[in-house]
Structure 1
Amino acid sequence: MTPHTVVNTLAPGDLVFDVGANRGNMAEAFLAAGARVVCIEPQPHLAAVLRQRFAGNSRVTVIEKGLGSLRGRSSMSVSSQADILSTFAEHWKVGRFKDMVWDQQIEVQITTLDDLVAEFGIPRFCKIDVEGFEREVVKGLSSKIGVLSYEFTAEYRDHSMEVLEMLIRLGYRQFNVSLGDQPDFQWPEWVPYYEVVEALTLSQSPELWGDIYAR
């Protein structure tokens, strides 16, 4: 998903954390807006793709690690059918992607959002796309940063609501949603958390997915 609404608010020099950068398509959009981008990608072959794609670009830093609640190491399930779906979350493999083949396990070094902030500064925008591991990533953040987005899916609504509660405790007060691959927000203005909760609770679509934004 390309969050055009957020990209259009970026100014040259703004810092962006692209958590789950994959092959760098989102990073490319951030760079086009003039941002500095820290790409966090735990899969070695994809981190190599990122380094090659952005070779010589001083506004890109590639971190070949995963993010979690604590520093350490963790096992990642990788699908050679679709590496974009690779995950640290066991529950992710029994949802809508239960028929995928998870044919590799890799050990990955884990860092935290707090560590990234300490090293690079507070980002204007932090995109989190980590295939069901959002709760653990946000647990690694101890204070409010810039606009933050994270992916949600219908079958793990409870997880998404837990992340929403975490963000409220960190000081986030305004929210919005983009559905599926739609580039625009669901609401023309930012809304309080309970409108997001109501909208996601009322939806009966088992295929509902998208991104929740907080500021």
Structure 2
Amino acid sequence: MERWLGLARSLVIYHNPATVRAWRRFYGQILRPGDLVIDVGAHVGTRTRAMRRAGARVVALEPQALFARYLRLTLPRDIVLIEAAAGGAETVARMAVSSRHPTVSSLQAAFVDAAPAAPGFGHVRWDRTEEVRMVTLDGLIARHGVPAYVKIDVEGFEIEVLSGLSRPVPMLSVEYLPGFASLTTRVIARLEELGPYRFNPVVGERSGFLWPDWRDGAAAREWLAGLPADAASGDLFARLP
């Protein structure tokens, strides 16, 4: 019963027409019709639908069985849905699941252990685990082609997702959590290893860039370090010049 309540809660929060329209306008500014995109952590499909409506070809990954079932029933048929997580190897992994707050389910044990003490997570309980299939970004690229954009929203597992990517892609985004800024600084370092990326944040669901220009990794790290732990989360975008 709690799993269905968690799905309903996510639909109320994330899957509403106004949010999808706002993200469609945003993605319409940074993607071109026909661009291939990979959505790692599709959840209820808000961003997947927005990118598709902006004209992109979407490969969506969602490891949680209940959410993958919902997406299979509701997504347009031209979206490729893969019931899997992304990581450093093609394997099977165990995900910690919060039935009531499924958006924070995670494969990162350290994140789950530390989260109850972080602002905004005190009410969350990870009450069960779920065995999930894991694929790699390199494997997805081999099967589907090089994406113009990869969106990653995986609750602390970002660096593991990027460990399965051995080449730069034109643009990525990762969720940042101010209470776990060190996880995002590791992501910035990994992206700098892959290529000369420049960065720009999107705060919350505002679907617009915070900065008027794209800045280097040092500026992104400085900005993250200055955020209070209880500041709003969002997405840190990275793109090649």
Using structure 1 for the length normalisation, give the TM-score.
0.92
Alignment of 1:137-176 (within 5 A): 137-176=161-200
Q: What amino acid does structure 2 have at the position aligned with 1:41? A: E
Deviation at 1:99? 2.9
Q: What amino acid does structure 1 have at the position aligned with 2:195? A: G
Instruction: Give 3-state SS (helix, strand or coil) of 2:142's partner.
Output: helix
Q: What amino acid does structure 1 have at the position aligned with 2:137? A: L
Q: 2:137 pairs with 107, 110, 113, which one? A: 113
- Structure 2 distance, partners of 1:156, 1:9, is 27
In proportion to residue count, which structure has more helix?
A: 2
Q: 1:90 pairs with 90, 109, 128, which one? A: 109
The aligned counterpart of 2:95 is 76
Q: Is the 8 A contact 2:27 2:54 kept in 1?
A: no
- Structure 1 distance, partners of 2:229, 2:109, is 23
In structure 2, stretches of 5+ residues that fail to align are: 1-18
Q: What amino acid does structure 2 have at the position aligned with 1:173? A: Y
Deviation at 1:45? 1.2
- Structure 1 distance, partners of 2:157, 2:25, is 24
Q: Which structure has the higher relative contact order (CA within 8 Å, separation 6+)?
A: 1
The aligned counterpart of 1:9 is 30
The aligned counterpart of 1:46 is 67
Structure 1 residues 106, 165: CA separation in 2 closer, same or farther (over 3 Å shift)? same
Q: How many percent identity over aligned positions? A: 36
Q: What amino acid does structure 2 have at the position aligned with 1:10? A: L
1:164-203 C-alpha deviation (Å, 9 max, x unpaired): 0110110042111112222111111111111111111122
Q: Is the 8 A contact 1:172 1:214 kept in 2?
A: no
Deviation at 1:210? 1.5
Q: 2:39 pairs with 18, 23, 44, which one? A: 18
Q: What amino acid does structure 1 have at the position aligned with 2:164? A: G
Instruction: Give 3-state SS (helix, strand or coil) of 1:8's partner.
Output: helix
Q: Does 1:27 align with 2:27?
A: no
List structure 1 runs of 4+ shifted beyond 6 angstroms. Answer: none
The aligned counterpart of 1:36 is 57
Deviation at 1:118? 0.6
Aligned-pair RMSD on alpha carbons?
1.7
Q: Does 1:124 align with 2:148?
A: yes
Deviation at 1:3? 7.9
Q: Is the 8 A contact 1:144 1:172 kept in 2?
A: no
Q: Does 1:200 align with 2:224?
A: yes
- Structure 2 distance, partners of 1:172, 1:41, is 29
Q: Does 1:210 align with 2:234?
A: yes
Instruction: Give 3-state SS (helix, strand or coil) of 1:167's partner.
Output: helix
Q: Is the 8 A contact 2:24 2:53 kept in 1?
A: no
Indicate the larger mover: 89-98 or 184-193.
89-98
1:50-83 C-alpha deviation (Å, 9 max, x unpaired): 111125x22x000101111111111001111021
Deviation at 1:4? 4.8
